[in-house]
Structure 1
């Protein structure tokens, strides 16, 4: 990958899009992970106003500290970067108090995890509306178009996606080029939605390198029967996730009414 040229291409694309839309800049949720770090740095490089927002909900201190350190790094290098912290923990707890809490339901943990992401999305759009900012998505190609590893109308609810055509390995390559901290580069990827230490790999059952391999083999028309052992297992994980999450990755289905029924 021609890293410098890719970075310049994304920065130019961001700036041109915002200018054409008559928007003042960008807003990004900062998680302490590589995707939000790279996305925020790319937005900052446009020279347009870039608002970094921390939105902890029972967040691990390591994630919080990485996010704060990254924001400090950006503010030291870009005069157009500002930041806010909105602790949504009490909002999340209040939400749990006013809805029926089915702790026996096997889906409760995932449903609440997705609720965290949707509270953050609403917060970002609140500030975006106040300041005429675009919400910049932080999803990469494997997450957004491979296994659908994001929350529908949560971190998937964005105005534009600067890094969604980059594999995770390419995001890391750009991160190194942009001097993202080693703490972030070396941290195990996690969505941080469950209030514990589980990583993305723990949830998915495969690493991003493995998923990239499977995504490319799927593109080439291969199937699980072409492999054995761990490769077969990874390919099946990829295909299962891809199929189950099509509802996220495909356009919202519209019920088209036959012409004769409307006349």
Structure 2
């Protein structure tokens, strides 16, 4: 069991279209199912954001989890965060190269918040490599309410004190403000120039692998219109044996992987170890 819980950091150099990046990655477990974990905004692999769920799931001996920093976060600086148009797809391609560099050609992806959006992009870009997708708390098609909510959090007082302190300690007040300002401008640009699409319907329908969507009914940061948009536009196909499942965890908040990790892990483990065939139960509440 000790070997199954192996947890370590390593350095890595990536060449993405001729541009060199230096970062670290974390590997947890030695199970046969390899899962790329993608964190949210201000994500940092050293922070062990997913510790609650990796601790729970790795004991089953089925999984190997891999995390790394996206450009502009954690150890992967420079460069500073770049929110110019196309940033989501750039992050997806960065992680595709990351997995190629590790010589891993088949893997699943799990993403939270911004990482969930990136996970869907990866599955759309390389459906021949991705086996399964788990996404929770992700923005996918923003509206004016999302714009206003993001602007609200420009005020540090809008954050829970323990969260804002953690983020300040992690990246500093100046860089926090710079990243958030860039994010707000990117949201406005996408809303005004791309009809709010973080991922288009055409991109969603290129996903040819099973997808598990998890939503916390008390999420005050990401509305359910995001997860419903994805659920309604994935392309179910009996031909490809593709299934999708939307699970709503009652009273769970945005960080459900911490506050409701037992339910969360049960759903995720079932998804990775079972083949859902009852298409009449594509949405459930627990």
Q: Which structure has the bigger radius of gyration?
A: 1
Q: Give the number of the structure with larger relative contact order, counting CA–CA contacts within 8 Å between residues 6 or more apart.
A: 1
Q: Do Structure 1 and Structure 2 share a fold, with TM-score over 0.5?
A: no
- Structure having the larger proportion of residues in strand: 2
TM range (shorter): 0.3 to 0.5
- Structure having the larger proportion of residues in helix: 1
TM-score, normalization by structure 2 = 0.31
